[in-house]
Amino acid sequence: MKELTIISGKGGTGKTTVTAAFADLADNKIMTDCDVDAADLHLLLNPEPVSEQPFIGGREPRLTVDKCTGCGTCEELCRFDAIHVTDTGVAAIDRFSCDHCGLCALACPEGAIAMADAENGTWFISRTRCGSMVHACLGIAEDNSGKLVTLVRREARKLAELEGADLIINDGPPGIGCPVTASITGADLVLLVVEPTVSGIHDMERVHGLCRHFRIPVLAAVNKYTVNLVNTQKIRGYCEEYHIPLVGEIPFAAVVNRALVARRSVVDYDCGPVTQVVRDMWEEVARRLEDMPVAAGL
Amino acid sequence: MNIAIASGKGGTGKTTVATNLVLSIDHAQYIDCDVEAPNGNLFLHADISARDTVGIPLPVIDRERCTCCGACAEACEFNALAVLKTKVMVFPELCHGCGVCLYVCPEDAVSETLKEVGVVEQGFLTRADGQVVRMVQGELKIGEPLSPPIIKQAKRLADPDRAVILDAPPGTSCPVITTIKDADYCLLVTEPTPFGLHDLRLAVGVVRVLGLSFGVVINRADSGDCEVLDYCAAEGIPVLLELPFSDELAAAYSRGVPLVVDQPAYREVFQRLYERIVAEVLS
């Protein structure tokens, strides 16, 4: 079994557009949405959940107000400025600043703070027209998105074993931080979707740096390449310099937005040349995945 | 005045709105809190005059003193320490720098060093009208997972005498919350597609939990459907600005040219946007 993750650095370059098309084209695979704090793939794949479970991301401090004497030990020790003795004479936890490290609970001389399991979201196994999908929804203003990504991928691997799937396709999050790291570590192959803008190139270089850091093989595709041919040429040059196979150049077409508004993928809805390029791109990615040795211990 | 520009979905135009605001209003400063993918200065071109590294404390174990009792590893909520037979291992990429290990060690065997997780840079640019704009940007070191320490440092460097425009990262989790939680106003930038609407709903959930006043900007407003507008009307959310899609605007953006530089008439549009935000905050 192999695992492909689609990322971009910059947001809005077309990760989910490409992923949804691959979902329509690939055989015998499991789909995941690893962009757990703004998941969108389900909008195109219409999953029907067959299982829904809470995500316990870690523990969080809970204060028993009756026991608090307002001594301020917690406030003094907290490095995240997340607990303060208020006018009422007792401590209050600012959950939006709290890092959940538990120091306040350890230090409270009155035992007024205890660590308890925190439910940070929900994860699902669903059926879609393109097969099974594992996805999740981080709770509002909740923490631990990296751990939720790790859980989604772990469950997807279990499901792939069970169903005898040969491939997992992960729709990744933007950025280069903890959810992105959690989306790519241990993957066989990463596809970078880049737009030919100064921001797109800047962020592609950063996320490519992250892939190199973790020694993960990378492919690239340019989305909306016709928006700026000079920048597209720069991306080609970058890919050549770093020996990154460029597997597709998708032209800009207003019809893509119409497909998205109709909640269809660009291969399910006729987007003219875009549809053809994305189909060819998938053939190329599939061929390269097939040629890769199966990694041990995944 | 402290205005955060956020979105939920990436690539909707946060940086476009934030940079054009600072290029249009008086006494402005731009703070790039999208430290994983900072792009503002690709458009502003400020001269960087100061650059400081941001570090978080990382435990160092004194092997002479350590008895491998395991108290540190047991207390660490992030599994950043592992106790072996003869030594304690620290996993720097898991450490949050919280100090729990140092607090619980009965042998006083833990001290701390600073681990670099990124940088913050400061600079200035002079606009065509002669006004000087201040720019601060944070940048997460590649391979480091945690952006909040850099976001906090970038925000600390804000000059309180200038209007603060905070360019937030996409998403709805800790980096976004760290950026926007104490803002006077949050502008949510979206696009008129099912993705834009879905992620706008998530972002609205976050700003409501945080108790922030907020409004919406619809970018590429003429390129999708009208569901975002319907949603805002139904929820009573003010739509402060609709920016059209045009090939020229997309091309200027792709080259790193701000909208108000490419088409100066837009300055007035962003000045009016700022006036509306001020009016919303005061009301």
Query: Hey, what are B110's tokens?
Result: 């833990």
Residues of B in contact with A143 (CB under 8 A): 173-174
Low-confidence ranges of chain B (pLDDT < 70): none
Q: Is B226 on the interface with A (CB under 8 A)?
A: no
Pairing of strands B47-61, B110-126: antiparallel
Whole-number pLDDT of residue A297: 44
- Contacts of B87 by beta carbon, 8 Å cutoff, 6+ apart: B61, B63, B66, B68
User: Are the CB atoms for A155 and A126 separated by under 8 Å?
Assistant: no
Q: Say what the pTM is.
A: 0.95
Is A15 in contact with A193 (CB distance < 8 Å)? yes
Position A295 scores a pLDDT of 61
Calpha distance B101→A258 (Å, rounded): 54
The distance of A248 to chain B (nearest Cα, Å) reads: 19
Check whether A298 has a pLDDT greater than 70: no
B283 touches chain A (CB under 8 A): no
Task: Determine the Cα–Cα distance for residues A77 and B270; give it in Å rounded to an integer.
Answer: 44
ipTM above 0.90, yes or no: yes
User: Tell me, what's the pLDDT at A293?
Assistant: 84
A175: chain B residues, CB-CB within 8 Å: 34, 36-37, 147, 169-171, 175
Task: In whole angstroms, give the CA distance from residue A61 to residue A58.
Answer: 10
Is the Cβ pair B42, A198 closer than 8 Å?
yes
- Contact predicate B192/B221, CB 8 Å: yes
Is B42 in contact with A199 (Cβ distance < 8 A)?
yes
Is B222:B206 a contact under the CB 8 Å cutoff? no
Q: Which residues of A touch B9 (CB under 8 A)?
A: 11-12, 38, 40
pLDDT at residue A191 greater than cutoff 70:
yes
Instruction: Return the structure tokens found at A218.
Output: 């990378």
**CATH 3.40.630.30, applies to A58-119:** no
Q: Do A40 and B254 touch (CB under 8 A)?
A: no
Contact of B118 with chain A, judged by CB distance below 8 Å, is answered with no
- Give CA separation, B125 vs A124, A291, B13, B130, B162, in Å: 48, 51, 22, 9, 14
The rounded mean pLDDT for chain A is 96
Interface of B with A in 187-206 (CB under 8 A): 193-195, 198-199, 202, 205-206
A172: three-class secondary structure by DSSP: coil
B174: contact with A, CB 8 A cutoff? yes
Torsion, Cα A7 A9 A10 A11, to 10 degrees, reads: 40
Nearest alpha carbon to residue B2 among B277, B283, B279: B277
As its CATH architecture, domain A2-46+129-291 has: 3-Layer(aba) Sandwich (3.40)
What is the maximum alpha-carbon separation in chain A? 70
- For the cut 70, the answer to whether the pLDDT of residue A266 exceeds it is yes
CB contact (8 A) between residue A59 and residue B77: yes
Cα angle value B193/B19/A208 (rounded, 5°): 70
Residue B236 Cα, gap to closest chain A Cα (Å): 20
Name the percent of chain A lying above pLDDT 90.
96
Domain boundaries, chain A: 2-46+129-291, 58-119
- Cα–Cα dist A135/A158, whole Å: 14
Which residues does chain B have within 8 Å of residue A96's beta carbon, measured at their own beta carbons?
177, 181, 210
Q: Does the beta-carbon distance from A101 to B142 stay under 8 Å?
A: no
Say if B36 is an interface residue toward chain A (CB within 8 Å).
yes
Q: Which residues of A68-83 are buried (b: 16+ CB within 10 A; e: fewer)?
A: beeeebbbebbebebb
Give the chain A residue whose CA is nearest to the CA of B182: A96
- Answer whether A2-46+129-291 and A58-119 agree in fold: no
**Do residue B42 and residue A38 have CB atoms under 8 angstroms apart?**
no
